[in-house]
Structure 1
């Protein structure tokens, strides 16, 4: 299989033993009516100063592995087997005070969603300074604040002294991510865990954040675990990679070896499904058939077997043991009965190829924006007058026709989301007009606005904040149908099931709460 090989920017691996070693880690999550076997025998290690990538589909255990290192398990979660050794100490047996001292001090973590991981009631400066006040008793508030501002400057925050007084909701997604990085690094940890650090960021900001994390890792001499679903990020930012599937490690290798010769059939399928591969070769985009297995039952056999074109009876009956690659030895291990041959040049033809999309001819104008402007007043205070306005959208005009897909791109904070919220009727424009199907939205009555919201839907950027944590997913999905009086209850439940099928989630998901899903599953 031909792939562009990543360039090697690493230093040689330490021979003094790993900084972090995860041995046969098993994690169960006790829910109301079931037990989820989230991790089942995960083993990996990270040397001092080494960046390790963990990659795989949503729900395969990447984030759970990262959280388990720090003992940050969800409600009902417990480690049922294995060990997590950090600098020789078993964290699975460590008392709570020891773990609290390690978190944010010798191990830093960048969480997947910076908005929900930041305290909305605290200023940015106070939140960055907090780890220093907790873990460095000799540092006073003034010095901690000075170090926090210095860290903001280090992570490339514009006007850091001004941002110190801001709150999380006043920052764009890229800025909040920089704050999360500053918090994770302010105590100069030995190990940094970055869980999908570029989720929902634009391409420009994503590249800046990844470059920033990589530069700081080298400067501070930290080891790093980078959790991501993006093989492109893996190629350019880590030295070694662990491919996870259904709570287990399917394959481990140095990154160049994995890209040159993937051995596990699941890894091969991930490479075949890369959009850029189809674009570069001019071939059809491959997809992996089926869905990952449910982890609520004890699985037998190879977990990828139901989706693998090469599976035999042996694959379904017993689980393959990890084995060394014949050419690379113990540096490249995989668990597959029918590995990809070393001379393979192309992905398996048996992978599912979706039918080509049929483009519809654009019709008459459906949405028209005419010189649309939106300004937000700058907040004042009890002794401070308002200081003017911020122009979020300034004189935007565009037309979207029936059957047309219209892209709006730009860097964080340039007004894309505000534009979408105005079209959906969630924000009122300061000036200009929004016409949908020929009607000016400003002239709609209250009843007509409610009907309009059925015709224009907004997929929110932050899936966690968009869902009520007290409602089950089935109730969340049914709620719009109930409000808009669409069908009977039976019709609504049938439609909810069909929607879950369409986005690749099991129908049993209706009984679960949002926090019981991975980030990718919540987005679905």
Structure 2
């Protein structure tokens, strides 16, 4: 018997009946991993959460079946679901910052999970289970670490705690919703290996939701590509990613950056349709191979190879091979004065020094990437630049003038010129305000003398530039996917026409096509003189966007060089 069986799953908008997910089918045996990929809003997270018997507010599961280890999730009562969730099927969320209770210590939260599902365990029996789970995800299990609160951990450490808690009870299935977006490359590699090994050793089936096709290629046995609520391509990982047949899958692959060479990233034009489009092929308006029939006939799933299917009416004209364009050389070293200069900057919080004696400069139009493992001080340094760290020594100069410690002490022009985009779109957007209000209020604060009409035009232009349709302006943040929320955060910042943009892992929540569009937008803004400080774990993306790279370790810059030089011939062992 299969470990996971999903049959004809259907999820709709409760108020209108418009379909969010329709007709999704797949089967997983014990130890197998399915990579669920697609753009934000494609329905992949909806499928994943439906496997827990859950639909987000405003949505409703109306059809199909989900059986995990023989248990029918969709017909279970609330009390039965409480036992199924955690013990039979576990969930690792995209944003650990909102999944962990900020008022409870890490150890307390882990113990509570064991007490609820395993009340038979004595205190002495719980300890080795916790130690093993923490070691599996490369975290310490000593008392000093377990007594920390979530805010005292880096984003990567928070995510590893969530993964440890998911495997703690040895479930039959695990749903991982973008679990490595906040992790540095070394930690990501370890966590992926841990997930793979645990699934094989313990017979756990996994559904891995991701926009990172490189991660999926390493981890998954099978891949399902989703678009507008449908599975448009499904098959073994090597077949789908190595010989993609659907134009949408090919578009996603063309948008992936490569650490070995700087590519021109190709974003898929247009935006995905909202729920409820049922006439013809949902991808037709964005497809370069679409014909008239695509607007009226919905394609059926067609076998294109052994265990490999795709939904397309034009498979006979879709090419079987992809071509990529190599990008030009990075920006020449600037002879202009530095726009932003850091002299012997040390900073931290709670009396603890996190960043030590950093000297850096950013030139007009330059992109400087900050890379390093979680906890290396990248975000702390980035926040010090914008004034969000209250303890700082050394000088930060903007156009040769020293910046005050806090934003309130700085001039309105400086606050407008230096904008910050946070890593977590869930925590940075006011949940009670509409998207229009969120972007409008920020722009109005920075352009107080402009008329309502001018501010409205800036809002609409900013939303359009990040690839969002105008309809999102009337929505609340919880009505958007994670990737859509991050695009709103980017729109809020670029709508102020900054000269320096601090980007803290801003593409970690974006699918590859939107990432490509955002990168191309940032490159366009750079041609107008915008400078970027780009904090990231994604070295392939660094190759595409950055002119220079600063590598951080334990709060210090240990290597600084041009992108090509550093990635091709790193001098430090840590960088290598």
Which bracket does the TM-score occupy, shorter chain normalised?
0.7 to 0.9
Q: Which runs of 5+ in 2 are unaligned?
A: 488-576
Distance 1:128 1:321, change over 3 A: same
**Pair 1:89-2:71 in alignment:** yes
Q: Distance in 1 between matches of 2:236 and 2:444?
A: 52
Q: Distance in 1 between matches of 2:17 and 2:443?
A: 31
SS in 2 for 1:393: strand
Contact 1:112 1:195 in 2 (8 A): yes
Q: Distance in 1 between matches of 2:374 and 2:249?
A: 33
Q: Distance in 2 between matches of 1:173 and 1:443?
A: 25
- Which of 480, 497, 500 is the equivalent residue of 2:460? 497
Tell me the residue number matched to 2:379: 417
Q: 1:246 deviation in Å?
A: 1.0
Q: Distance in 1 between matches of 2:181 and 2:405?
A: 37
Tell me the residue number matched to 1:372: 345
Q: Distance in 2 between matches of 1:432 and 1:422?
A: 11
Distance 1:342 1:313, change over 3 A: closer
Show CA shifts across 1:56-78 (max 9, x none): 11111111110011022111221
- Which of 407, 417, 420 is the equivalent residue of 1:458? 420
SS in 2 for 1:103: helix
Distance 1:491 1:290, change over 3 A: same
SS in 1 for 2:471: helix
Q: Distance in 2 between matches of 1:242 and 1:29?
A: 23
Q: Distance in 2 between matches of 1:61 and 1:257?
A: 22
**Pair 1:315-2:294 in alignment:** yes
SS in 1 for 2:339: strand
Larger Rg: 1
Q: Distance in 1 between matches of 2:453 and 2:158?
A: 42
Q: Which runs of 5+ in 1 are unaligned?
A: 1-16, 378-388
Q: Distance in 2 between matches of 1:42 and 1:244?
A: 9
Tell me the residue number matched to 2:118: 136
Q: Distance in 2 between matches of 1:237 and 1:397?
A: 39
- Which of 258, 274, 287 is the equivalent residue of 1:276? 258
Show CA shifts across 1:339-389 (max 9, x none): 267983335x9xxx8997995874321111110111433xxxxxxxxxxx4
Q: 1:85 deviation in Å?
A: 2.0
SS in 2 for 1:45: strand
Q: 1:441 deviation in Å?
A: 1.4
- Which of 132, 143, 146 is the equivalent residue of 1:150? 132
**Pair 1:300-2:279 in alignment:** yes
Contact 2:233 2:309 in 1 (8 A): yes
Q: Distance in 2 between matches of 1:476 and 1:469?
A: 9
- Which of 27, 51, 62 is the equivalent residue of 1:69? 51
Distance 1:355 1:182, change over 3 A: closer
Contact 2:387 2:407 in 1 (8 A): no
Tell me the residue number matched to 1:428: 390
SS in 1 for 2:368: coil
- Which of 332, 335, 339 is the equivalent residue of 2:315? 339
Q: Distance in 1 between matches of 2:300 and 2:406?
A: 65
- Which of 218, 242, 247 is the equivalent residue of 2:229? 247
**Pair 1:482-2:461 in alignment:** no
Tell me the residue number matched to 2:213: 231
| Worse overlay, 149-158 or 239-248 | 149-158
Contact 2:388 2:407 in 1 (8 A): no
Tell me the residue number matched to 1:20: 4
Distance 1:358 1:214, change over 3 A: closer
Tell me the residue number matched to 1:12: none
TM-score by length of structure 2 reads 0.79
Q: Give the alignment of 1:176-187 within 5 angstroms.
A: 176-187=158-169
Q: Distance in 2 between matches of 1:196 and 1:446?
A: 36
When the two chains are superposed, the root-mean-square deviation of aligned CA atoms in Å is 2.5
TM-score by length of structure 1 reads 0.87
